[in-house]
Structure 1
Amino acid sequence: MPIVLLMNMSKTNKSYLETIKLVRKLTIISLFADDLLMNTFVIKGGNLMDIGFGISDRASIDIDVSMSDDFPPDKLEDIRLRLEKALIKTFDDHDLLVFDVTLVAKPKEAYVAVKDFWGGYLLLFKAIDKAKAASLSLEAMRKQALLLGPDNSAKFKVDISKFEYCDNKEAITIDDYTIYVYSSVMFVYEKLRAICQQIPSYTAIIHQQPRQRARDFYDIYTIVNKLELESSLFSAENLQILQEIFAAKKVPIDLLLEIKNHSDFHADSFASVVDTVTDKSNLQDFDFYRDYVSNLAARLKPSGEK
């Protein structure tokens, strides 16, 4: 089936999901295809469960990556052009045309108090079947682009977080490209931190509204149990990584003990998690995942001892 015919299909359609999976893979390859940028990014987030750990229980569309430093402001357009070139070349091999590539700071203006540890960039682009694009104007291409994002959006998104802890990254290979990813332990710790970052005492510091993250509760339980990680989370070496990941965003590690008290905030977003789970036969209610994660977090004591 030509890829262009998938534009308007239901997002539960198998062919559509396969297309999204292909676009994710090509995007990840593009991030590591440029010689200058190949050591810059580290993949994290929900997509890592599939490409890094072989767990495909929950489909995730957008891509999240970390970087340990920042781009020089006067080089941002050069970075965008490099990413655009890599995207166009990689997608072209699969008869897809990438266009409308943008790279913008997120947030546009960071508060002075947090600019040294908070923020990142948003990479956005659209794609269309190359043969179809040949006869279309740019405006028509925009109207007929593949629906790659949430809510039937044609924009595919890569969320780049700067000033992150990346020292213990691991390398995997995708189509002969070396791709750097969070280790499974880093994945769990970062997900725990993301939950802590929604607690009001922290959101007040960074001047952000809290976001519901029921998916993180589900992801933590899933990866810890499928990869049998629980004991390794408490090793002295890994507890030091926990400290570093929290310190990167100046998140007080004591907030691990507050997750349970603030977990009700995330409950309403669990319905959207259920929609993305491919095999629902073992799916539990939100309370199950909340209790597991809250108990795990409470045992990861701020002292760094089990």
Structure 2
Amino acid sequence: MTTMALPTIFIDGEAGTTGLGIRQRLAGLSTLALLSIPAADRKDPAVRQALMRQADLIILCLPDDAAREAVALADALGEDAPRILDASSAYRTAPDWVFGFPELTTAQPDLIRAARHVSNPGCYATGAISLLRPLVDAGLLPADAPITVNAVSGFSGGGRSMIEAHDTTGGPPFELYALGLEHKHVPEIQHHAGLTQRPLFVPSVGHFRQGMLVSIPLHLDALPGRPSGADLAAALAAHYAEAAGITVSAEPVTRLEPEDLNDTDRMSLHVLANETYRQAVLVARLDNLGKGASGAAVQNLKLMLGLAA
């Protein structure tokens, strides 16, 4: 009897927050073989390329410039080149890469399954796109609408320097950042939400490790057809009817906590409307390290390799 080889995975950048999260999730899968690089060789292109040659799929958990260099190393292998899942923001709007948000459209899972190159979404972008794209597609939100996205994340999403600052000194209890309005997630939000006008995005960080809320305020009477909050919720619910990890609610609440979905790969979407004042706030809640990063990467990996969800 012939024993089929297990798909082999190499995580380039496994020592970072996202890489560690992916490796932890994959460690329990008996259907995969994982390659590791010695710590002393993590920056050695020859060693990394040799591991890429052995892999069926590589996951890049690197800064943007380093991810571009890694893609060049992998693609230089020609017929031996592995498939690539990139967790950086380097290729999220690239036309020859598939965006790794399976719930984006009904066609997206098949595009991911067939792709050689898949770009994992950003955490903030996942929340914003999940709220906006279904409403644009349904004609409830104009593509040229002036959209404002507010968001708060745990400090683990801010990279090593921010994590160290909060871990060692306590960090500020809350801060706005990227106030030059040039955050790297804006292009992917605009592109994959189907917006023709650049959204205004104001991110913030709180003194908690992980968890995220992304919120988008809307004036209902400024939208085509003057929809109700229930109309918006119905469009979201229809879009995500087959999405096992995404729930939609129009139930009134007075508080939403960013940490409630921590250590899961789920996301909850909320439509909070006041029909008296014809205003609504759309909110996405997720773990920035789960559906916002490592969990999404594993979801994409399983699609790319034909593994059970």
- Fold agreement, TM-score > 0.5: no
Q: Which has the higher helix share?
A: 1
More strand by share: 2
